[in-house]
Amino acid sequence: MAALGFAGMATESRDVKKDEPRDKVACPYCRCEDTERVALFGSVLLTSQYYCRHCHSAFEVVKG
């Protein structure tokens, strides 16, 4: 559940780009909005996992 292969994300970056551009989430660590959503399976727990491309940190956002 914790280990996520972010290194493998590069091949899917194009698909992520088209996914709701208005859904911007600021990184809780550096406040940068250069983040992208990853790991759709997190929706089961009403959370979305994001990855900050600025400080390379992963974080979760609770939805609703």
3-11, 12-20, 38-46, 48-56 -> range binding Zn ion (CB under 5 A): 48-56
Q: Is 30 in the site for Zn ion (CB under 5 A)?
A: yes
User: For 24, which DSSP code?
Assistant: -
- Decide: is 38 part of the binding site for Zn ion (CB under 5 A): no
Q: Which is nearer to Zn ion, 47 or 59 (CB)?
A: 59
DSSP string of 41-64, one letter each residue: GGGGGTEEEEEETTT--EEEEE--
How far apart CA 26 and CA 1 sit, in angstroms, is 23
Binding residues for Zn ion (CB under 5 A) = 27, 29-30, 32, 52, 54-55
